[in-house]
Amino acid sequence: MVTLAINGKSVEAPENATILDAARELDIHIPTLCHLDLHSLKMLNKAATCRVCMVEVAGRRALAPACSTPVAPGMEVKTHSPRVIRARRGVVELILSNHPKSCLTCPKNTQCELQSLAAELSITDITYTGKMSSHKADKSSPALVRDMNKCVLCRRCETMCNEVQTVNALSAVNRGFRTTVGTAFAVPLAETTCVSCGQCVAVCPTAALSEVNNIPSLWKLLGDTEKFTVVQTAPAVRAALGEAFGLPPGRAVTGKLVSALRLLGFDRVFDTNFAADLTIMEEAAEFLDRVKNGGRLPILTSCCPGWVKFFEHQFSDLLDVPSTCKSPQHMFGVIAKTYLAEKLGINPKKMAVVSVMPCLAKKYEAGRPELTVNGLPEVDLVVTTRELVRIIRDAGINFNSLPDGEYDAPLGASTGAADIFGISGGVLEAALRTSYEWLTGATLEKVDFEALRGFAGIKEASVAIGEMRVKVAVASGLGNARKLLESVRSGESAYHAIEIMACPGGCIDGGGQPYHHGDVKVLEKRMQALLSEDQGKKLRKAHENPFIKSLYADFLGEHNSRLAHKLLHTGYVKRQKM
Amino acid sequence: MPQSPQGEDCKKLAAFLDSSIDSSGRNESALIKTLYEAQRIFGYLPKEAVFLISERLNVAVSKVYGVISFYSFFTTKPKGRYQVKVCLGTACFVRGAEKIARELESRLGIKLGETSLDRKFSLESLRCVGACGLAPVTLVNGKGYGRLEVKDIGPMLEQYTDGKS
Amino acid sequence: MKKIASYAELNAARAACKPLLALREENTRSGQKRELLVCGGTGCQSSESAAILENLHREILAAGLADKASAQITGCFGFCEKGPIVKIFPDDVFYTEVKPEDAREIVESHLRDNAVVRRLLYEDPAHPGVLIERQSDMNFYKKQLRIALENCGRINPELIEEYVAAEGYQGLARCLDKMTPEEVIKEVTDSGLSGRGGAGFPTGVKWAAAAAQPEGKKYMVCNADEGDPGAFMDRSILEGDPHSVIEGMLIAAYAFGADQGFVYIRAEYPLAIRRLSLAVEQARAAGLLGRNILGSSFSFDLELKYGAGAFVCGEETALLRSIEGGRGEPTPKPPFPAEQGLWHKPTIINNVETLANVPKILRRGAGWFSGIGSEKSKGTKVFALAGKINNVGLVEVPMGITLREIIYEIGGGIKNGKKLKAVQTGGPSGGCISEENMDIKIDYQSLSSIGSMMGSGGMIVMDEDNCMVDIAKFYLEFTMDESCGKCTPCRVGNLRLHEILDEITKGLGTPEHLEKLRSLGQIIQDTALCALGQTAPNPVLSTMRFFSQEYDAHVYEKRCPAGVCRELLDFFITEACIGCGKCLKNCPASCIGGERKQRHVIDPGACIKCGTCAGACPVKAIIRK
């Protein structure tokens, strides 16, 4: 431990701590902007570029950035001397002198970290004026918009995209005042290796990166009397939506979510969870088929569209490894436009399927050309959790006082196995619950596979299923996925099944979720919320879902039947690596 | 219109890559040298060459582009046949290099950093060629012209008409 | 050169090579043999020194003197103003401004007929008509003391044999044979040598920091990314004496325990790259790079890495990122490179001139070196003297010499008899020193005390025709262009400073502008990430301090006293006008009127202030005011 003094108060800090860490121990607030430390997700942006957290260290000629200056014995730090305050305000004013002043109409209004910082420092006047950056916004991606005029060059997106996700779509380009974050040769983002995971959006302090806004399209759809509107909600949405309305993180708001959607005017409110259970049926059957018939192992989950695009770019030599199952979003869409439409006697052409997702890649996935049914898009429109918040506010709905509603039948019923699709390890856990019973014919008493839970980037377990020891692995975050897949490719590791989620921690940390603003505890609580949802359910194994049983009995036939294959399975394409 | 790189040039680059890839796997540190070589071969850094380098050195193309765009030596645009470089280092500046630059711009009809439409001339500034005794200095395809005055620019450029080099 | 496997073999090689330098060390005018050294530095090569050498070879052959005379290249003599230089040994005759066509006369007159070619001798500007033959008699050289440049102008940089003959690699041999690494560090620390790249950090202390790191992989890097516009010290050393830099790196590597080195060199220095690469090959062949050097357990090898046009890569941490193959963006210090450098391993970065001093210190001892210089700054410093000065060139002077001595004695005073206004040192990170500080003794401390810095050694002289606001703007423009763009103060702040200066030079300045310059300048100094950013406001702040009246004139009177800022100028035709009509004919704005043979008049409203008329006037009747 190291003893130092901050503002005259003595404090002990570990040797590798920064001044910022030590100050937090003393409850001394030092404003920051570029700094971001998501420790449990192993994401650390310590670029020290913004120069907002400057403090005075006795004996040093210039000020020091608290975020990246290590503590030293006997160090004397001042965090609010007049010199510090002048420099800090000066730096923020410089940032603002090259930042659009269109906060009123900015998608990040009230959520922007620069806006909060300016308010915190009571900046009422910007001393400096002059030339401003003028980049054309990149709207090529179906998932996210890049408006580099709003970039403060914190470099969080670059750290996220390259170091955490290893997608490498973005890099700092040019230098001096022309420096920006961009793609190679400034090509549109849609033409790069970007997988639309949206983690860059999740960490961007301003609106330099934001999601494609589907709110106007949704209102238009809801106003179209010709259309029969069906909405599905992903598991992770219910775990985070409440935060935006001031409810404590970790409270699942499933019932209020249903009520809100009904109030908005959807004709049917269904649950992606239903399709999650369905996914387990198909995926477990595919897995068992590969095990029994000597097929390709390991099997990789395929419900995460960011992950799917990632392996199409980076592991195009392994395209036969992933499960051919469509994601729950699309299993839902396809069943809605076939089975449900027939059941309700509605022309599928007049049906619109809307998804509420924690994810930006789902916006991209909905537009994949092969994901159509009888020439119709399987999913018509995707909105994120954040967009749903704005729609609910837009409609003047008092979310917190809504009664708990119930999902409509038949595509609203689900087991606990579906809830945990929203957390890393959950899909595999759900699949194991079903595979165990199918393979052994015995009842699985202890359904909790704790080794697969939590925020660790790569998790492994060996599970006894009857005679067989099944080796499984889970990765979340694409950098971890890359490591795992490389060990599979080299033959170093042998697994039977692997689950991968693009976002660190799983969908609860999706690119479309309410901003965590660097507070990873929020993510831990969301995880707890979904685990409780699972535990609260009477049925916790996908194959026990009665509505799933009747779907097969009435419509699909066997698991992995020809019709099931036609509707619920898909294929993958090779994409450029760089 | 930018010409697409010749197959012959791509082969040369591939050969260079074959010889320079390091078995220790620390290929990223060979990036700048490789780009330098590629620019020597092609005259600039065409997309095809950059993708080839990215793939062979296993460095993401976005990152390679980030590097290219950082260093003023590298260019992704083809240059003119005659590259006019006016030194704007301090020694030349205090001896009137700015007037020389302005005269070059007006005579060539292009600004610093541009290439004429017929790809005959490129005009660039550079920082100190180290011939301060000859300030102000301008280079045309590497040949130095020292102690220049505005009136010398016309005759200097006249030597670079088509057919001569 | 064949492999040298021990100290004894090195001494034997030295003895064997010694005759190569014999003629140059004799001091006689009646030698039977003669040797001609032609400057092969970049400056002289731009003036066709290669053709001079070729012609000399040819003429010597033609005159049948092949057994009596030989010619070869050498490194920069420093007197670039009068280049190309040809020096003849053992006569000690120094020819200046030689042209390729002069080769015949030199050979026929001097070599064959023993008659000095008087028209190629240097004429003392202070005493017209007085021709000087000997280098040592010239004012330009009288006050110089050459240590780093010892071999420039003395040996052929392309021959390792000549370097070895000139006591080369003796410093290294002494280290390996007689000294522990700790003793080497102590020797360098005691010598008082400090980093010649800018900040002046004590070299021995730096090495000790890396030596203190746990054993394991460590790197030695030579910073040859000289980017200071108007400075060419390091390039001249690399071109003129590359082995001294290699030897310096070897000694450093031995001292702190590195086995691998890199020279980070500007790609724009093709000649330096060629000479250094050649030297590396020769050293490798002689076993002076590689495994078990001079039979010791010490192994070291090095590789060249090219800089690709980014001034910021002169900053240590940016340089390391560039060697690793990335964008040259600086990273915060601490951690310092000596703790975590290349690939997170302890790394020492020394600049070329620093390293060139090291072998001499190890050869002659710390006491010798620390006896040179001022109380606090030891040794010499090489400056690239340029701008409005008579003797542009490279000079090496002991620390503690005054600026006045450099400018007026060595430099020969201001060009065209104009009045000195300022001397800029330290390049874009430095400041402008005014006439009243000309008697300051030059060392690290005194220069910082007046808001400038030693920097890498650029010294630009400005006269009354240079506008200090314009100069500050010039430096800001440079820093803006070269900013890596990573941190806010440098990326945005320096642009804002430049914009304010631009408005001032356009007559749009207000008193608030001056206040903003000052306060923003201080904020940038306080908050920028690296030394490039932190020092970028220095040229502005120092000119504001010493030339405030010039800023005031721009802001309050909308006047540029030096007559540089175009928007603030009025062109005026005086009574000296002879009415020739040349101005009228050349005026692009057609704003000059007047009858032939009558005084002409400029319409100030229509004048675009381009200055074409003033250039066209044969009697200098058009003035700017």
Instruction: Assess A578–B contact: CB distance below 8 Å, yes or no.
Output: yes
Q: What pLDDT score does A28 carry?
A: 97
Across the interface, do B29 and C325 touch by the CB < 8 Å criterion?
yes
Instruction: Assess C384–B contact: CB distance below 8 Å, yes or no.
Output: yes
For chain C, give every residue range classified as CATH 3.40.30.10.
33-135
pLDDT over threshold 60, residue B24: no
Q: Which of A273-287, A429-443, C567-581 bottoms out in mean pLDDT, i.e. has the lowest?
A: C567-581
Tokens linked to A323: 């499960």
Which domain does A457 fall in, by range? 216-568
Record: fold of C160-370: Rossmann fold (3.40.50)
Instruction: Please identify, in words, the CATH class of the domain defined by C570-624.
Output: alpha beta
pTM (whole model) above 0.80: yes
| Mean pLDDT of all residues in A127-135 | 96
Across C496-577, the runs of DSSP E, i.e. the strands, are 571-573
Banded pLDDT at A189 (limits 50, 70, 90): very high
State how far the Cα of A19 lies from the Cα of A53, in Å rounded to an integer: 10
Under a CB-based contact definition with an 8 Å cutoff, are residues A76 and A4 in contact?
A: yes
Q: What pLDDT score does B2 carry?
A: 39
Domain ranges in chain B?
7-70, 82-158
Residue A355 lies in a domain: yes
Residue of C39, C228, C239, C327 best to disrupt the B interface, most CBs of B under 10 A: C327
Q: Which residue has the tokens 């590497």?
A: B142
Across the interface, do C523 and A86 touch by the CB < 8 Å criterion?
yes
State the greatest distance between any 2 C-alpha atoms of chain A, in Å, as a whole number.
80
Q: What pLDDT score does A68 carry?
A: 95
Superfamily in which the C33-135 domain is placed by CATH:
Glutaredoxin (3.40.30.10)
Q: Which of A280-284, B106-110, B126-130 bottoms out in mean pLDDT, i.e. has the lowest?
A: B126-130
Residue A112 lies in a domain: no
Tokens linked to C597: 């043979």
pLDDT over threshold 80, residue B7: no
Q: Are strands B138-140 and B82-87 parallel, antiparallel or unpaired?
A: antiparallel
* Dihedral over alpha carbons C431, C432, C438, C444 (to 10 degrees): 10
Please indicate, yes or no, whether residues A12 and A41 belong to a single structural domain of this protein: yes
Percent of chain C with pLDDT over 90: 77
Q: What are phi and psi of A240, to 5 degrees?
A: -125, -25
pLDDT over threshold 70, residue C491: yes
How many structural domains is chain A composed of?
Answer: 3
Instruction: Assess A63–C contact: CB distance below 8 Å, yes or no.
Output: yes
> For residue B128, what is the nearest residue in chain C, using CA coordinates?
C229
Please indicate, yes or no, whether residues A247 and A301 belong to a single structural domain of this protein: yes
Q: What pLDDT score does C86 carry?
A: 95
Across C240-300, the runs of DSSP E, i.e. the strands, are 260-266
Please state, rounded to an integer, the average pLDDT across all residues of chain A. Answer: 96
Instruction: Assess C42–B contact: CB distance below 8 Å, yes or no.
Output: yes
pLDDT, one tens digit per residue, over A77-114 is: 999 999 999 999 999 999 999 999 999 999 999 999 99
Q: What are phi and psi of B161, to 5 degrees?
A: -95, 165
Q: What pLDDT score does B22 carry?
A: 64
Q: What pLDDT score does B143 carry?
A: 82
Type of residue numbered A489: R
Across the interface, do A162 and B50 touch by the CB < 8 Å criterion?
no
Chain A partners within 8 Å of B76 (Cβ):
185
- Distance from the Cα of C362 to chain B's closest Cα (Å) equals 30
pLDDT, one tens digit per residue, over C126-144 is: 788 899 999 989 999 999 9
Please indicate, yes or no, whether residues A236 and A369 belong to a single structural domain of this protein: yes
Pick the CATH number of C468-556 from 1.20.1440.230, 3.20.20.70, 1.10.10.10, 1.10.3720.10: 1.20.1440.230
Instruction: Assess C546–B contact: CB distance below 8 Å, yes or no.
Output: no
State how far the Cα of A208 lies from the Cα of A60, in Å rounded to an integer: 35
State how far the Cα of A176 lies from the Cα of C273, in Å rounded to an integer: 28
Tokens linked to C341: 């450098």
Residue A511's CATH number: 3.40.50.1780
Chain B partners within 8 Å of A182 (Cβ):
62
Please state, rounded to an integer, the average pLDDT across all residues of chain C. Answer: 93
Across the interface, do A130 and C496 touch by the CB < 8 Å criterion?
yes
- Three-class HEC string of A432-499: HHHHHHHHHCCCCCCCCCHHHCCCCCEEEEEEEECCEEEEEEEEECHHHHHHHHHHHHCCCCCCCEEE
pLDDT, one tens digit per residue, over A199-253 is: 999 999 999 999 999 999 999 999 999 999 999 999 999 999 999 999 999 999 9
State how far the Cα of C606 lies from the Cα of B143, in Å rounded to an integer: 40
Chain B partners within 8 Å of A172 (Cβ):
66, 70
- Distance from the Cα of B139 to chain C's closest Cα (Å) equals 10
- Distance from the Cα of C522 to chain A's closest Cα (Å) equals 9
Euclidean distance between the first and the last CA atom of chain B, given in angstroms as a whole number: 22
Please indicate, yes or no, whether residues A207 and A222 belong to a single structural domain of this protein: no
Nearest-by-Cβ selection for A168 from B47, B51, B60: B60
Under a CB-based contact definition with an 8 Å cutoff, are residues C162 and C17 in contact?
A: yes
Instruction: Assess C487–A contact: CB distance below 8 Å, yes or no.
Output: yes
Please indicate, yes or no, whether residues A144 and A200 belong to a single structural domain of this protein: yes
Please indicate, yes or no, whether residues A249 and A143 belong to a single structural domain of this protein: no
Please indicate, yes or no, whether residues A449 and A317 belong to a single structural domain of this protein: yes
Under a CB-based contact definition with an 8 Å cutoff, are residues C266 and C225 in contact?
A: yes
Which residues pair with residue B122 across a beta bridge? B83, B115
DSSP string, A378-423: S--EEEEHHHHHHHHHHTT--GGGPPPP-PPSSTT---HHHHGGGS
pLDDT, one tens digit per residue, over C275-298 is: 999 999 999 999 999 999 999 999
Across the interface, do A63 and C527 touch by the CB < 8 Å criterion?
yes
Nearest-by-Cβ selection for C326 from B33, B67, B128: B67
Nearest-by-Cβ selection for C491 from A54, A62, A179: A179
Instruction: Assess A176–B contact: CB distance below 8 Å, yes or no.
Output: no
State how far the Cα of C31 lies from the Cα of C93, in Å rounded to an integer: 13
Q: What pLDDT score does B1 carry?
A: 35
Instruction: Assess C180–A contact: CB distance below 8 Å, yes or no.
Output: no
Across C364-430, the runs of DSSP E, i.e. the strands, are 380-387, 393-398, 420-425
State how far the Cα of A191 lies from the Cα of C143, in Å rounded to an integer: 65
| Mean pLDDT of all residues in A44-61 | 95
Q: What pLDDT score does C428 carry?
A: 87
Handedness of CA A380, A385, A388, A390 (dihedral sign): negative
Nearest-by-Cβ selection for A184 from B55, B61, B70: B61
State how far the Cα of A50 lies from the Cα of A54, in Å rounded to an integer: 9
Chain B partners within 8 Å of A168 (Cβ):
60-63
Chain C partners within 8 Å of B92 (Cβ):
230
Instruction: Assess A50–C contact: CB distance below 8 Å, yes or no.
Output: yes
What length is written for chain C? Answer: 625
Instruction: Assess A18–C contact: CB distance below 8 Å, yes or no.
Output: no
Nearest-by-Cβ selection for A184 from B55, B64, B70: B64
State how far the Cα of C42 lies from the Cα of C285, in Å rounded to an integer: 27
State how far the Cα of B64 lies from the Cα of C253, in Å rounded to an integer: 32
Question: Which residue blocks in A56-214 are alpha helix, DSSP H?
Answer: 82-97, 113-120, 156-158, 199-203
pLDDT over threshold 70, residue B45: yes
State how far the Cα of C80 lies from the Cα of B147, in Å rounded to an integer: 13
Tokens linked to A218: 């949704």
Q: What pLDDT score does A119 carry?
A: 97
> Which run of H or E residues covers position A37?
strand A36-38
pLDDT, one tens digit per residue, over A352-378 is: 999 999 999 999 999 999 999 999 999
Superfamily in which the B82-158 domain is placed by CATH:
Glutaredoxin (3.40.30.10)
> Which run of H or E residues covers position B138?
strand B138-140
State how far the Cα of A57 lies from the Cα of A65, in Å rounded to an integer: 10
Q: What pLDDT score does B3 carry?
A: 44
- Coil vs helix vs strand at C93: strand
- Three-class HEC string of C569-589: CCEEECCCCCCCCHHHHHCCC
Assembly ipTM: 0.93
pLDDT over threshold 70, residue B25: no
Residue A83's CATH number: 3.10.20.740
Q: Which residue has the tokens 């043979």?
A: C597
Residue A220 lies in a domain: yes
- Distance from the Cα of C320 to chain B's closest Cα (Å) equals 10
B29 versus C164: the higher-pLDDT residue is C164
Chain C partners within 8 Å of A153 (Cβ):
485-486, 488, 491
Please indicate, yes or no, whether residues A479 and A496 belong to a single structural domain of this protein: yes
Among A75, A97, A119, give the residue marking a domain's end. Answer: A97
State how far the Cα of C491 lies from the Cα of A177, in Å rounded to an integer: 5
| Mean pLDDT of all residues in A519-543 | 96
| Mean pLDDT of all residues in A259-265 | 97
Chain B partners within 8 Å of C505 (Cβ):
none
For chain C, give every residue range classified as CATH 3.30.70.20.
570-624
> For residue B74, what is the nearest residue in chain A, using CA coordinates?
A174
> Which run of H or E residues covers position A21?
helix A19-25
Under a CB-based contact definition with an 8 Å cutoff, are residues A34 and C491 in contact?
A: no
The reply to whether CATH 3.40.50.12160 applies to domain C380-463 is no
Under a CB-based contact definition with an 8 Å cutoff, are residues C40 and C157 in contact?
A: yes
Q: What part of C 323-342 touches A (C-beta under 8 Å)?
A: 327, 329, 331-332, 334-335
- Distance from the Cα of C92 to chain B's closest Cα (Å) equals 24
pLDDT over threshold 60, residue B20: yes
- How far CA C306 is from CA of B74, C233, C263, C346, in Å, comes to 12, 18, 8, 21
Nearest to C70 by CA among C39, C100, C107: C107
Type of residue numbered C104: R
Residues of A serving a catalytic function are: 283, 286, 303, 323, 362, 365, 370, 507
Q: What pLDDT score does B135 carry?
A: 84
Residue A317 lies in a domain: yes
Banded pLDDT at C590 (limits 50, 70, 90): confident
pLDDT, one tens digit per residue, over A10-41 is: 999 999 899 999 999 999 999 999 999 998 88
